[in-house]
Chain A
Amino acid sequence: MVALVVALSLPALSFWQKYRSLEAGLQGSNRVRAVAITRVINQYPDTWRFRRDLLAELLAYTDIEERREGVASVLIVDLDGKIVVETSEEPRRPLIMRRSELFDSGAKVGYVESRYSLRSMIWDTVWVGLVGLLLGAVIYTVLKRLQQRVAERTDELELTLSRVKRQSRQATLLAEMGGFLAACAAAGEASAAIARFVTQIIPEWSGAIYLVNPSRNLLLAAERWGAAPPTRDTCKPEECWALRRGQMHRAGGSSSGMVCAHVKPDVIAETLCMPMVAQGELLGLLYFVSAAPGKGDLHGPRDSDEQIMVNVAEAASMAIANLKLRDMLRQQSIKDPLTDLYNRRYLEESFERELALAKRERHTVAVFMLDVDHFKKFNDSFGHDAGDAVLRALGHLLKETIRASDIACRFGGEEFTLILIGAGRDDAVQWAERLMSRVRKLETQGGGQPLARITISMGLALYPDHGQDGETLLQAADVALYDAKRSGRDRLVVFQAPVDDASQLTPGSTDGAIPAT
């Protein structure tokens, strides 16, 4: 627009200025001529038309420029339109013409007209126009480039602003995710939180989080997200180049990296695998796949997404490692390291909870107290290591024989507690008999040598028959165990509550010993 204005205004202004100057000049000189001619007319009112020499002399006083052939002419015309005097031929058209009237004692008798050819002025204007056009073109080019530069800068600025906003939002979400991860109680919960946040942090990417199974030979898909998540549920560590190389691995799309075996062959988009490692331990894999090839480019450079993925992987790794550590510490706090059974502390925590559940769901609970017979003598005979080996073997056996819902604890020393959820008297007795039978057959070794066989004594108390709370029931089972010991060991005694007061538990108040068979 500015260039067009310059291109047009320069010649227009030039023409206008020259035209106005010429017009003023013509008008002025014409008026002077008219006054002089009028004086002649006044002097010779009847014959002025015929005094052509005198009139021509008056008209001769013109600018030198005007006298050039074909440029200007002046003529006197009477009222009838007849030309009285004309200085020269009519100039080349187009013309500018200015008239001044002639008077005979105040009455109009004709006019004097100056004519000037505009041709040279038009040529001048054309030249100026060409210069204007050239100048306009230069200005147009310069402005266009400036505009382009400004547009580029604006785009860059907008892109930078967009990146900053995106990164700021990503940082906020990452921090928020960190907060949620810190509050997660299990790896599964953490995986769900990661999936939910990653969808918001880098929505252009689909993906999955794989967690290493306890045996560390398989990765299981814990969560998936995005429009095009991978469909494989499992993968082996050796199927992923990232896990094999111990570093982030990019493939597909414009990348030249090898495509992992766990990536389905029909995936043509860019993929990114991030190993989740903490303190040298492989915890899992974060797998990302671009929602559409090259789509990530629209929102910023790959480096930015990669960095955020690294951050997500680090946060996820730390969270899962913390959960594992927490789980390990908890296990350590509630388990007996020798037998890998729960300890007494866990029993006290969980027993009341199980009883509350039984109360609500109206089912029975069987509580056993059992003790290795003559364990002190065994220790004295074979040593503490042998004793530990026996306890370890017994613990393993107990874990094998109970259901996942049951609880087996090392109560202390060679004494164990078993809680069988939903077991009635008969089931409990039958189960105890099978256990005692297997214990008698249990073979253990100490120092490379087979150790002597062991037996166990067991006391059984039942909920709700023998008590409503854990302490009472444990006390009842303990009383029954005491009776079993006193009755000759290697047997089960079921607690027998006194007829008038079940809470007054005393030795011998069992309903009968079940001796070894």
Chain B
Amino acid sequence: MNRRRLLIAAAAFCVVGPGWAAELVRIGGSGSCVGAIELLIREFRKIHSDVEFAPVAAIGSNGALSAVSAGVLDIAVLSRPLSEKDRAAGFQGIEYARTPFVIVVPEKMPVAGITKQELAEILSGKRERWAHGERVRPVLRPPDDTDTDLLKRMSPAIAAALDTAHKRPGMIFAATDRDAADSVENIPGAIGTSTLGLVLSEKRRIKPVALDGISPTLKAFETGSYPYHKRLHVVWGLRKPRPEAGRFIEFVSSPQALAILRQTGHQVPPFRGN
């Protein structure tokens, strides 16, 4: 709860900031969405230059919902579907894209792929070095994070290894998707989780690696050979969004927006399979 309040406060600071104006549209949410949303805002403003946006706050899906509820944000972008509890609280939204959930390493590291077995060994501490000799440094997400949940679903061995990893002292933790991407970018020998959408939209110096020999491309995802992904949503609260925010929500489903999303590793509606 404290963490959530902290995120709301951070979002408020980022969104409201020193130069806050009443007409600013305030958007925040999962780091997996932020990069692509920023691209969409840039495109949207080409059409609606009168609408001003506050910087998009990467405060995580849960933090964004709380901020919307508190009236600090107009729109929340989530990397997970709304739960029954969320819907009961009055949140509503649309799934605007899906993007592969990927295992990433630093861009320049000579590693192209990894197996689930190797991943489990890395997480449990059994495998300490990469094949090229560099030390393996896994970047973990908090136990209740969406990425942790998705990773655990990959295999029981990975789930058990993750439990072990969370108990090991001195492990590297990243609170948000962006923190995780930063860590993998900067820490030598790092390995972490991200989304293809984040990597491409933010042009990160990290690279998704093949899992069990399958590269996590949009095509592989759409053909179903790579099944791991995140579902991205635009969410608003009980009250009707302000007109500017409403126009942006409509824009997210526009052809221009969908083209940008596809270019940055997102599957767009209508969704098939998966």
Contacts and interface: CB of A to CB of B under 8 A. Distances in A.
B133 interface: no
Interface in A223-261: none
Contact of A103 (B128, B165, B170, B188): B170
Contact of B172 (A42, A101, A108): A42
Contacts of A42: 137, 170-172, 183, 187
A301 interface: no
A105 B137 contact: yes
Contacts of A46: 188
Interface SS, B side? loop
Contacts of B138: 105-106
Given A42-B137, A45-B135, A45-B137, A103 B169 contact: yes
Interface residues of A, number: 14
B206 to A, nearest CB: 16
A106 B169 contact: yes
B227 interface: no
A106 B187 contact: no
A107 B172 contact: no
Nearest to B188: A46
A315 interface: no
Nearest to B172: A42
Interface string B137-150: 11000000000000
B247 interface: no
Given A105-B138, A105-B170, A45 B128 contact: no
B55 interface: no
Contacts of B187: 42-43, 45, 105
A102 interface: yes
A125 B168 CA distance: 41
Interface in A84-115: 101-108
Contacts of A41: 170
B186 interface: yes
B60 interface: no
Contacts of A106: 125, 138, 165, 168-171
A107 B186 contact: no
A41 B170 CA distance: 9
Interface in A1-40: 38
Interface in B144-195: 165, 168-172, 183, 186-189
B186 A104 contact: no
Interface of B: 125, 128, 135-138, 165, 168-172, 183, 186-189
Given A42-B172, A105-B171, A107-B170, 20 more contacts: A38-B169, A42-B170, A43-B183, A43-B186, A45-B137, A45-B187, A45-B188, A45-B189, A101-B170, A102-B170, A103-B171, A104-B170, A105-B172, A105-B187, A106-B125, A106-B168, A106-B171, A107-B125, A107-B135, A108-B170
